């Protein structure tokens, strides 16, 4: 069965719009998200556009701060300091990746954790580790929400996460092993140095692919009946496509969908859920301040 992230995200956005309208009617401040976009990376530009458009749909004010790829680290840190002290802005993101002259850790550490709606600051990641209230990183939050909305049982399941990035694989492995629902999974992380990846993937009741390699997971690597979550968004050349490329996930959808019990497509799976998670965090940031 296809897990329809697009449809689920539309439903959540409708719920969020109602919640935000109510919040504002009762005198609350309308939430405001800012996004900092550095350079002209086509994928980043497309993601940020999607985030801004979704803000409009739910009644969140948004500001886009666009800077050239040549920006210095000092200039970017000044922008972050301004956002930290701007009371109008409840939360903001700095879209990653950043150009080589800028150290991502330095940037992340400078973000006020109270405004870190990406949930990337060590304080927020640490709170997540401890199961305390925090801004959950958007993609893991979106995946957990999808599992919840589709009533997919996770307790006692073996979840194999393919990929150990700071923004997806590592935080997701923590979230799914926590003592709550969704959670209570037995989690294995596999990565580029793992031996016998295929053997381990075949043991997964829930398989999350987040390594950024087009169609890496083939049907002979998946246990029949497994739940497959595809986080990959890879561009592959396609002369028949309008833009000259098409988007594919880390999973070979055609083959794997025949044996999986549930599977997320690309596009229309995890991607739209990442955006609604960011919107939820932004509302939370606005509500926390009052
Ligand atoms: N680049 C890829 N995913 C993300 C995300 O969730 N947030 C930010 N800031 N950058 C990203």
54-84 pLDDT per residue, tens: 999 999 999 999 999 999 999 999 999 999 9
Q: So what's the pLDDT on residue 93?
A: 98
Closest atom of ligand 1 relative to the 274 alpha carbon: 6
Task: Find the Cα–Cα–Cα–Cα dihedral 235, 238, 244, 249, rounded to 10°.
Answer: -20
CA of 159 to the centre of ligand 1 (A): 23
Cβ–ligand 1 contact at 45 (below 6 Å): no
- Using a 6 Å cutoff on CB, does residue 230 contact ligand 1? no
- Condensed to tens digits (0 to 9), the pLDDT of residues 83-118 reads 999 999 999 999 999 999 999 999 999 999 999 999
The confidence score (pLDDT) of residue 56 equals: 98
- Per-residue pLDDT of 24-55, as tens digits, reads 999 999 999 999 999 999 999 999 999 999 99
* C-alpha 95 to ligand 1 mean position (Å): 5
By the 10 Å C-beta count (0-12 exposed, 13-18 middle, 19+ buried), 88 is classed as: exposed
Coil, strand or helix at 187: strand
Residues 6+ apart with CB under 8 A from 39: 67, 68, 69, 98, 99
Q: Check pocket membership of 118 for ligand 1, CB cut-off 6 A.
A: yes
Q: What tens digit of pLDDT does each residue of 252-270 get?
A: 999 999 999 999 999 999 9
pTM: 0.96
Closest listed residue to residue 71, CA positions, set 50, 94, 90: 94
Ligand 1 atom having least distance to the Cα of 138 = 6
Residue 166 clears pLDDT 90, i.e. is over it? yes
Q: List residues bridging with 116 in a β-sheet.
A: 92
Query: How far is it between the farthest Cα atoms of the chain?
Result: 57
Is there an atom of ligand 1 within 6 Å of 138 CB? yes
pLDDT of 276 reads 98
pLDDT reported for residue 142: 98
Report which protein residue has its CA nearest ligand 1's atom 7: 95
C-alpha distances out from residue 248 to 253, 266, 271, Å: 9, 6, 12
Task: Give the three-state DSSP class for 80.
Answer: helix
The yes-or-no verdict on residue 290 having pLDDT over 80 is no
Nearest CA, atom 3, ligand 1: 96
Confidence band, pLDDT 50/70/90 cuts, at residue 199: very high
Position 289 scores a pLDDT of: 80
Atom of ligand 1 nearest to the CA of 118: 7
What's the CA gap between 18 and 178, in Å, rounded?
30
Residue with CA nearest ligand 1 atom 2: 96
Over pLDDT 70: what percentage of the chain? 100
Residues contacting 91, CB < 8 A, separation 6+: 31, 32, 33, 34, 115, 116, 117, 135, 281, 282, 285, 286
Q: Is the pLDDT of residue 135 over 90?
A: yes
Task: Evaluate: CB of 277 within 6 angstroms of ligand 1.
Answer: no
């Amino acid at each position: 069965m296809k897990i329809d992230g697009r449809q689920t995200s539309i439903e959540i956005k409708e719920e969020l719009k109602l919640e935000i309208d109510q919040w504002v009617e009762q005198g609350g401040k309308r939430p405001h998200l800012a996004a900092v976009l550095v350079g002209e990376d086509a994928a980043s530009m497309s993601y940020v556009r999607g985030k801004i458009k979704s803000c409009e749909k739910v009644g969140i004010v948004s500001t886009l701060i666009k800077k050239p790829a040549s920006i210095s680290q000092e200039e970017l840190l000044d922008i972050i300091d301004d956002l930290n002290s701007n009371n109008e802005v409840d939360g903001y993101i700095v879209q990653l990746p950043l150009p080589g002259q800028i150290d991502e850790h330095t940037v992340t550490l400078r973000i006020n954790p109270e405004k870190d709606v990406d949930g990337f600051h060590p304080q927020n990641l640490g709170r997540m580790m401890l199961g305390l209230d925090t801004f959950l990183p958007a993609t893991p939050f979106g995946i957990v929400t999808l599992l919840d909305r589709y009533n997919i049982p996770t307790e006692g399941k073996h979840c194999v996460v393919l990929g150990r990035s700071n923004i997806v694989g590592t935080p997701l492995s923590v979230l799914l092993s926590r003592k709550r629902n969704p959670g209570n999974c037995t989690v294995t992380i596999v990565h580029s140095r793992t031996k016998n990846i295929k053997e381990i993937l075949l043991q997964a009741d829930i398989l999350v692919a987040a390594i950024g390699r087009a169609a890496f997971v083939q049907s002979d690597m998946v246990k029949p009946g497994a739940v497959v979550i595809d986080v990959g968004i890879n561009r592959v050349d396609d002369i028949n496509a309008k833009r000259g490329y098409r988007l594919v996930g880390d999973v070979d959808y055609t083959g794997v969908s025949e044996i999986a019990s549930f599977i997320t497509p690309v596009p229309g799976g995890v991607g739209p859920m990442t955006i609604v998670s960011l919107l939820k965090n932004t509302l939370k940031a606005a509500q926390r301040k009052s």
